[in-house]
A and B are shown apart, each in its own frame.
Chain A
Amino acid sequence: MLDTPIKLNDVSLKYRDFTALDNVSFEVAAGQTMALLGHNGAGKSSLIKIILGLISPTSGAVKVMGVNATSGKGKREVNLGYLPEDVSFYNKLTGLEVLSYFAALKGVSRSRVTSLIEEFGLEYAQDRQLKTYSKGMKQRLGVAQAILSEPNILLLDEPTVGLDPQASQFLYGKINQLKYAGCAVVISTHELSLVESQLDRALIMSKGRRLALGSCYELRSASPLHTTINFSGLTKQVSGNAYLRQFYRDGLLHFRGEQKAELIQHLVSQCQIFDFELKEPRLEDIYHELMGQESHSQAEQL
């Protein structure tokens, strides 16, 4: 298996005078989950379609499992799973028929279909028409469809939209199983709080441009947003500690991500603390901060 199944280098996509993607580059390694984050129209779906080989970029290089995705050979040579956003399948067919149909198109065995139906807890409804399925059941069927061939690459567009927390957790559990087996997973989503604990890296986009790329740790470190620490007796400890005073504000210690290790080391060695509360900026906070910066810089340009 390739170490880096997905490689995009300076990919741009232009429609006449509209730029859908502007020099976007990223890689997704085997066994890694990458989240594509951005507002509607940021270019997330275009990126997925480019990886799928459904559209060709105006410029740049796209390699999927070492194959040039723009050559059209990609989807025939690459074992890839995909779940489009809000797919409703064929309402008159049963769950088993739908999954068997897609399995036949991929040349996947009937036994795999049966085992997936069981694995996703759909055996009780397998002979019911899809029009009787709930949103969660359809989404489970959709993910089962995407992983039919145990793909090397899994592309999911809003996989958990409209699902209850339990159903979302179940789907992420299944996705993680594949990830641990070495699958490269790309998830496009707006549900930042949900995806934060699942991703290895995130690409934050706005209007076709890359705003940030990295792990949650890297994004936090690069963010101007502060992490805070609180513990009992903090004010007393700060009064006699010049090092801590520089971080002290409003009853808390405020510091940036890259200062965390040093500060915690200082607290452990110099202060008598038994417990502390650490609040790091969430992915959602970093996202909003980046979006705010972006709109501010655009307003300045105008």
Chain B
Amino acid sequence: MNIHRPRSPIFIIAYKEICDSSRNRWLAFMGCMFLLLSLSVSFAGSAVTGSLYLPELDSLMSSLSTISVFIIPLAAILLCYDSFVGEEESGTLLLLLSYPLTRSQIIFGKLLGHITVMLVATGFAFGLTAALLLLVGEQYHSGELVMAFAQFLLSSNLLALTFILLSYIVSLKCTEKAKAIGCLLLLWFLFVLIYDLLLLTLLVSDFSFANQLLINVLIAMSPTDLYRAINLVAIEGEGANSLAMIVSTDWGLSAMYLLFLLWIVVLTFISHRIFKGKPL
């Protein structure tokens, strides 16, 4: 029989995940949600002050990152919560494992597919916003605006990648889809709201034990705070708040990106280990 020279299974699985997300209308939904978010922050964000004007680039990026820190992890969770538990429930995980594939290829294929979906959705929404701002916003320097949005896109997708991997870990550990989404929403709540609130409380309080190193470590321990810190440090303007000031004194932007990469490497390793040891 006619056997094709096989493409890499990673690309085949990634392509299937993209088709699945597109058929589920996740891609369209997330693209529209991010677009609505970025357009309203950019063009209608000043409405609360009583007049309509385009904000300064620093405060625009600050506002965008403040809202994205809630939305991007949630989108990543909703996209990936059933990646493994869903396939297990439908019987396709066992089938995939009977194919000439390694577990690493399955996990990296899914990861490539899911991050591509996030990249397309965020790239479309934030890219279109940046293009519109360039067209109508005379006060923006095009180079600065493009760089600011590129930096914002990069950090947003690193945050998405972190939550995709967290979703994989939970999806691999849970035996039911409902349990997986429940656990992940709890994680989202802890990372995005509770941990952040506790950290800010620590920052504004004058505890003697809360020295610079401890605060930096606490920021590094939460991907959402790392994301906030990256965006605030990158702005380095009036939008920067106490979190950015504290972080910027010790760590540069590249160090924080490295920390983000460390999160991704560690989570990839953990999800890989769990998948390898998963009983069938």
Task: Indicate whether B141 reaches chain A with its CB closer than 8 angstroms.
Answer: no
Q: Digitize B85-98: 1 where CB-to-A-CB distance is under 8 Å, 0 elsewhere.
A: 00000111011111
Which of the residues B2, B23, B95 comes within 8 Å of A109, measured between beta carbons? B2
Q: Does A71 contact B (CB under 8 A)?
A: no
Given A87-B95, A88-B90, A88-B91: A105 in contact with B4 (beta carbons within 8 A): no
Asked whether B99 is an interface residue with its Cβ less than 8 Å from the other chain, the reply is: yes
Given A49-B280, A87-B90, are A106 and B99 neighbors across the interface (CB < 8 Å)? Answer: yes
Interface centre among A52, A55, A129, A145 (most CB of B within 10 A): A52
Supposing A105-B9, A109-B3 touch, asked if A82 and B95 sit within 8 A by C-beta, the answer is yes
Is A112's beta carbon under 8 Å from chain B? Answer: yes
Asked if B47 CB lies within 8 Å of chain A CBs, one says no
- CB contacts (< 8 Å) of B100 on chain A: these are 75-76, 105-106
Interface positions of B from 72 to 122, Cβ below 8 Å from A = 90-92, 94-101
Interface size on B, residues (CB 8 A): 27
Contact: B91 with A90, CB < 8 Å?
no
Q: Are B7 and A104 in contact (CB under 8 A)?
A: yes
Chain A, interface SS category: mixed
Taking CB atoms and an 8 Å cut-off, the chain A residues in 255-278 that contact chain B are: none
Which residues of A have CB within 8 Å of B5?
Answer: 107
Chain B residue at smallest Cβ distance from A54:
B280
Given A55-B280, A111-B2, check contact A90 B92 (CB 8 Å): yes
> Contact at B90–A92, with CB atoms within 8 Å?
no
Distance, CA A82 to CA B96, complexed state (A): 10
Binds A, one of B12-20, B125-133, B206-214: B12-20
Cα of A131 to Cα of B222 in the assembled complex, Å: 40
CA distance in complex: A127, B24 (Å):
16
Q: How far is the CA of A110 from the CA of B24 in the complex (A)?
A: 25
Q: How far, in angstroms, from A75 to B95 measured CA to CA in the complex?
A: 12
Chain A residue with minimal CB distance to B101? A105
B258 an interface residue at 8 Å Cβ cutoff? no
Minimum C-beta distance from B134 to chain A (A): 37
B176 to chain A, nearest CB (A): 15
0/1 per residue, A82-112, Cβ < 8 Å to B? 1111111111110001000110111111111
| A80 at the B interface (CB under 8 A) | yes
CB pair B92–A87 under 8 Å, yes or no, is: yes
Decide if B6 is an interface residue (CB 8 Å cutoff).
yes
Question: Are A52's CB and B91's CB within 8 A?
Answer: no
Which B residues lie within 8 Å of A110 (CB)? 4
Inter-chain CA distance A91–B92, complex, in Å, is: 11
- Residue in A84, A89, A107, A109 whose CB lies within 8 Å of B94: A84
Q: Which residues of A contact B (CB under 8 A)?
A: 49, 52, 54-55, 75-76, 80, 82-93, 97, 101-102, 104-112, 129, 145, 149-150
Query: Can you report 30 A-B residue pairs in the complex whose CB atoms are below 8 A from each other?
Result: A52-B97, A52-B98, A54-B97, A54-B280, A75-B100, A82-B95, A83-B95, A84-B94, A84-B98, A86-B91, A87-B92, A87-B95, A88-B90, A89-B90, A90-B20, A93-B16, A101-B16, A104-B4, A104-B7, A104-B12, A105-B96, A105-B99, A105-B100, A106-B99, A109-B1, A109-B3, A112-B2, A129-B23, A145-B95, A149-B3
Binding site for A on B (CB under 8 A): 1-7, 9, 12-13, 16, 19-20, 23-24, 90-92, 94-101, 280
Which 6 residue pairs spanning A and B have beta carbons closest together? Answer: A87-B91, A107-B6, A109-B2, A92-B23, A82-B98, A88-B90
